[in-house]
Every structure is written in C-alpha cells, then in structure tokens.
Amino acid sequence: MKTTFLKIAFLSLSILAISSCSSNNESDPEIIVEPPVIVPTDPLTTQNVTSYMADANATKETAALFYNLKKLAKTKVAIGQQDAFNSFYQDNGGDSDIKKNTGYDPAILGSDFMFITDKNNNNQADNWFYQEEKKIINAAKAAYAKGIINTFCWHLREPNKEDSFYAADMTAEQKATAFKSILPGGTYHEWYKKKLDKIASVVLNLKGANGELIPIIFRPFHEFDGSWFWWGANFCTPDDYKTAYQFTVDYLKNTKGVHNILYAFSPDNTYTTETNYLSRYPGDQYVDILGMDNYGDFDNQGQTGAAKANSKLKIIADLAITKVKIAALTETGYQVTSTKTPITDWFSTYLYSALTANTIEVSYVMFWNNNKDAYFVPNGTVSNASDFKNFSSKTKSALVNSLPKMYELPK
C-alpha cells in the first residue's frame, strides 16, 4: 500500500509540474494514474459467524471458537499436541511435556475416538477401553477449563473384523468393499451409525463447569489422499468420500442434535494445487477447517522441505480467506528415537518458516503424541529442548498463555 501511495503522490506532482510548465501545449501526453489497491475487509463478524459454519445452529461457545480461531490466524499460530496430558516421553508423567519444557501447557489438545468406539468397549468400569474413554474425556474437560482447544481424530477400525484401521491388514476384497459398505444402503451402514451414536453420546455429555457443552474439532477420515487407511483414495471414489463425510456431519448435526462440533477436512500432503486439494471436498456447508497433515516435507528436507510445506499451506490459507474458513496444519512432527537424532533448528527455523512465510494465516499446528521410547515434542531434558522453547516463544507462536478467551465472542 505504501508503494502505491508514493507512486500516486509522485504522479500527482508530475501532473502539476506538466500543467504549470506547458498548460497550452495540446500535445501533452495523457498521464494515467493507477488506482490504489483495495484490500477486501474480513466479512466475518460476531453477528454473522454461524452463516459461515457447517452448523448454523452451533452453540454460542462453538461459534465463538470458530470466530476466534479465524481471527487468531492474523497474529498467532496455536501450538498443540496429541494426548499431551496422557502420553509422555519415557513415561515421565505429571505436566504435559510441552509444559515441562516451556512452563505453559499447549494451546491445542489432540484426542482420538478410536478406543471410545472400539468393539471391546462395554461401558463397564473394569473395562480397559472404557477406562481409556474416561481418561480422554477427563483430559478434554481439563483442557477446556484451562482455555485449551480440543480436537479429535478417529482411527476407526474397519467394519469387517474391527481389528485394524490399516489397509495393509485387510484382504483385497475387504479393501475394495469396506468403505462403500458404510455408505447409506451399504452392508455396514447401520454399524457405522452405531459408531456415530457413541460419538454423539460422548460429545453431548462433554460439559464445562456451568453445564455448557464443550466445543470440539472433529477430523473424520483424515489423510484420505494416501492409501494406508481403509478410507484412502485407492479404496473409494471422490463421490463415495464426499457422501460419507456429508452423511457423518448431517447425522451428528441433524439426527443426533450435536451442535458443539467444528468439522475439519484434512488430506495428507500430496496435493500441489487448489483443484487437487478440493478433489474430495464435501462442500463449504460441511467443513469449518481446511487442514493438512504433513510429515513428509519435514522429514530431514531442511529449508527445501519447509518451503514445500509453506506452499501447500499457502493454498489452504488462501482458500480459507476466500471461503471464510480456518486453515490449520492439523498434524505434523519429526519423531526422535534412540536411532533417529534431532534435526538442528527443526522447530525454530524450518517449521516456523513453513507456518509464517508468505504472510499466510494458519490458526494452529498439532504435533503427534510422545511415548515411552520416542518423542515429537521435546520435554525439558533432551538435546533439542531449547529449539522447541525458542519456537514456542517466537512472535507468531501461541501456547495456552497467549490465547484469547476462545469460547467467548468479543464484545
């Protein structure tokens, strides 16, 4: 804008000079002044927020979360981790590993409906899967009480034996038929509805201290452009995928009356164009968050990989502006193990540049979980602890202490 203003000012002075020196010269060349560049204003307001959401009847806290995530991206990127309250490097419990390192909890807590909807969960107190369900629910409630944002993925077991979500564990016939079988009219459609009934029951009972429903982000059928999961691109057509996604949203929202969910759409990192990204997109009325999972571009590819990741994030960030949606790096990380050493400045240089270069607006980034033998986020004792701490304290980074009140619309 400054450049345009100076250009106009210079040309205006030129016009004055020409007019004063040769006002009677009819052969003066015509001087064209470029119009100023007009930047469109953000159409999202506190009054119209639900008109841009997948659920026009979203609870006020859920609408506030959408609004605040969208606005947050202009200045900050919220940092989160999967299972941050329950999974720790070297099983060193207590505070989240992020808090052990930085003094603050993450801004995002990732959870999974996998054990909650498992066939072995019998809702009995002595059942391991039910115990995991209670642990996940308690973590989500604790996160909400701290002002943290909750997001859930779903590693749904395939419908035949319900033993695995990996396509590699299935027969060729199962891979060819599993996804189609959960669509309306399919062999396992009623089975799929029962799984959604369980999710609905959990989400409708997820309540804060004042009885209000706790908003969550739900990311069904993620990384669908790869074919490691049974809902992957090799096992369903784009129309099949859209139908399943649309049914999932409609069933939870309209049939089960769940109105405290934001819906995230997140392929892996294979796309390079907007058209490719949208090839299985179920439509603006079904999606709140335009996401991407991306490990590959950050796997020891240095600045080249960071630039590739940034260009893909730029695609969804621009789409999020056009569609008035939220852009996010919904899953990423570089796992350090006993045989895989940290990459110098991975967080503070490569990841941070991917999230911030080219003035993109990304609302959050989420790392996968730590475990006994490996970590994605360093606690305070490992060699790259300072790299993460540096990353988390940068201008655009936000842990929970840097978040606004995410569940209240600004006055």
User: Which residues are known to be catalytic?
Assistant: 223, 331
Euclidean distance between CA atoms 375 and 152, whole angstroms: 20
Strand partners, 398: 78
Neighbour-count burial for 129-162, b at 16+ CB within 10 Å, e otherwise: bbebbeebbebbbebbeeebbbbbbbebbbbbee
- Give the pair of three-digit tokens for residue 380: 């305070």
CA distance 53 to 406: 16
Residue 60, H or E segment: helix 60-72
Burial, 118: exposed, middle or buried (Cβ in 10 Å; 0-12, 13-18, 19+)? Answer: buried
The per-residue b/e assignment along 37-61, b for 16 or more CB within 10 angstroms, e otherwise, is eeeeeeebeeeebbebbbbeebbbb
Give residue for tokens 């959960």: 182
For 73-129, give the DSSP string.
TTT-EEEEEETTTT--GGG--SS-HHHHHHSS--SEEEEESTTTT-TT--S-TT-HH
User: In this structure, what are the phi and psi dihedrals at residue 315, rounded to the nearest 5 degrees?
Assistant: -60, -50
Burial class (CB within 10 angstroms; exposed 0-12, middle 13-18, buried 19+) of 64: buried
Residue type, 31: I
Alpha-carbon Rg for the chain in angstroms: 24
Nearest to 160 by CA among 184, 186, 178: 178
Residue type present at position 378: P
**Structure tokens given for 88:** 């720790």
